[in-house]
Structure 1
Amino acid sequence: MLVLSRKINEAIQIGADIEVKVIAVEGDQVKIGIDAPKHIDIHRKEIYLTIQEENNRAAALSSDVISALSSQKK
């Protein structure tokens, strides 16, 4: 993991398209701004993990449904 120190209004550039900028620091909370192309999804990590879990459940359910439908044709 790369760890960088930044002050308010300083930024980190990721590739040519993504900029992460420190907007404010209030107590133990840091507000950041992310400038990225619209085709790049940006989520808080806990939301991203929830989306992944839901996708995995949906994929498993789809497999179960396909198996059930396949067995009915016999």
Structure 2
Amino acid sequence: MSEHHSGPVETGAPMNYAEHEKTYDMFIAGTKFGTIILVALMIAMGIGFFTSAGLIGGFLAWVALSGAGVVMMR
């Protein structure tokens, strides 16, 4: 932004496409794994609240489901 670019404003500065692709890939990976962990959390909360598993059972279910989901999505 602070550099002076000559030429029309519409063309803008040259893009660093490699960095853009890397940022996009990191965003997609974060979204994918974040969704897996949140879905596992919702299932584990259901297990913990609506069964006799309780807090520890729900936590263990969350760890197991999160681990399985991450391994399957790699």
Larger-Rg structure: 2
Q: TM-score with structure 2 length normalisation? A: 0.47
Higher relative contact order (Cα pairs below 8 Å, separated by 6+ residues): 2
